Amino acid sequence: SQTIHQWPATLVQPVGSPLSLECTVEGTSNPNLYWYRQAAGRGLQLLFYSVGIGQISSEVPQNLSASRPQDRQFILSSKKLLLSDSGFYLCAWERGSETQYFGPGTRLLVL
Amino acid sequence: GENVEQHPSTLSVQEGDSAVIKCTYSDSASNYFPWYKQELGKRPQLIIDIRSNVGEKKDQRIAVTLNKTAKHFSLHITETQPEDSAVYFCAASYTGTASKLTFGTGTRLQVTL
């Protein structure tokens, strides 16, 4: 069966510091991968998606970036965090069925 | 781009009653409509989905209806139980190379005893 991992689970970072969040999927190959952000008490906003290694599409202009160095690895990064980057970051995967399955998420607090 | 509106934002029902959550979408090309349940601090979990070639789908106490002409879809939960209390999100996407979901703003459902 398929499993999706995210780490770290929680993170507290100062404004201006860098960020790297990692997402890995097990039990499938060539998945589509997605990064969403959920602000406190709000809905989910699609940030990036990838249909293959090295292929990244950005949905919202911001100071975040994404990379897919391996088939089942998706990384979300920032060079300098802003207060507004705080939120719950969720990675999701799907493969040909349209149904997206979410990882456990990373809760980021920028102070 | 797609825009999804969801109502109500909060809903309180008594145990055993039915709950209905409604969503509208703007892009007539959207063809996939999932519903997710999110408990406090947890990841969203898919509870049911419907595709545009189907008008209604049911899974035990949960059903979803889709009206493509009016561009709205609804979630129906019957015989509600306390464990149904959570935030529910609708979403819509057009499935091409990737399925880019646009989410509604969520409905907080509270089932009271």
Alpha carbons A78 and A76: distance in angstroms, whole number: 7
Residues of A in contact with B106 (CB under 8 A): 42-43
Give the chain A residue nearest B96 (alpha carbons). A98
Nearest residue to B64 via CA among B36, B38, B45:
B36
- Position B30 scores a pLDDT of 94
SS3 assignment for A26-62: ECCCCCEEEEEEECCCCCEEEEEEEEECCEEEECCCC
Given A57, A90, A99, which is nearest B34 (Cβ)?
A99
Residue-level pLDDT at A97:
73
Contact status, residue B31 vs residue B94, Cβ threshold 8 Å: yes
Q: Chain A contact for B97, CB < 8 A?
A: yes
- pLDDT-derived band at B40 (thresholds 50, 70, 90) equals very high
Find where tokens 């809760």 sit: A107
Residue of chain B whose alpha carbon sits nearest to that of A59? B100
Query: Is the CB of B46 inside 8 Å of chain A's CB atoms?
Result: yes
Contact assessment for residue A59 and residue A66, using Cβ atoms and an 8 Å cutoff: no
What is the residue-wise DSSP string for B56-104? EEEETTEEEEEETTTTEEEEEE-S--GGG-EEEEEEEB-BSSSB--EE-
* Separation between Cα atoms, residue A36 and residue A65, nearest integer Å: 12
DSSP state at residue A71: T
> Could you report the per-residue pLDDT of A45-103, keeping only the tens digit for each?
999 999 999 999 998 878 899 999 999 999 999 999 999 999 999 999 998 778 999 99
Contact list in A for residue B91 (CB cut-off 8 A) is 44
Q: Are A44 and A107 in contact (CB under 8 A)?
A: no
C-alpha A56/C-alpha B25 separation (Å) is: 26
Encode pLDDT of B68-108 as tens digits. Answer: 999 999 999 999 999 999 999 999 998 877 888 999 999 99
Q: Which pLDDT does position B8 carry in this prediction? A: 97
Q: What is the mean pLDDT of residues B25-48?
A: 95
Binding-site residues on chain A for chain B (CB distance < 8 A): 32, 34, 42-46, 49, 51, 57, 59, 90, 94, 98-105
Chain centroid offset of residue B110 CA: 15
Give chain A's count of helices (H) and strands (E).
0, 11
CB contact under 8 A, A43 and B97: no
Q: Do A51 and B98 touch (CB under 8 A)?
A: yes
Q: Counting runs of H as helices and runs of E as strands, what totals does chain B give?
A: 0, 11
Mean pLDDT (chain B) is: 95
CB B107 within 8 A of CB B92: no
Tell me which amino acid residue A52 is: G
> For residues A49 and A110, is the Cβ–Cβ distance under 8 A?
no
pLDDT tens by residue, A2-55? 899 999 999 999 999 999 999 999 999 999 999 999 988 888 999 999 999 999
Using the beta-carbon criterion (under 8 Å), do B99 and A103 form an inter-chain contact?
A: no
pLDDT at A84: 93
pLDDT the model gives residue B64: 98
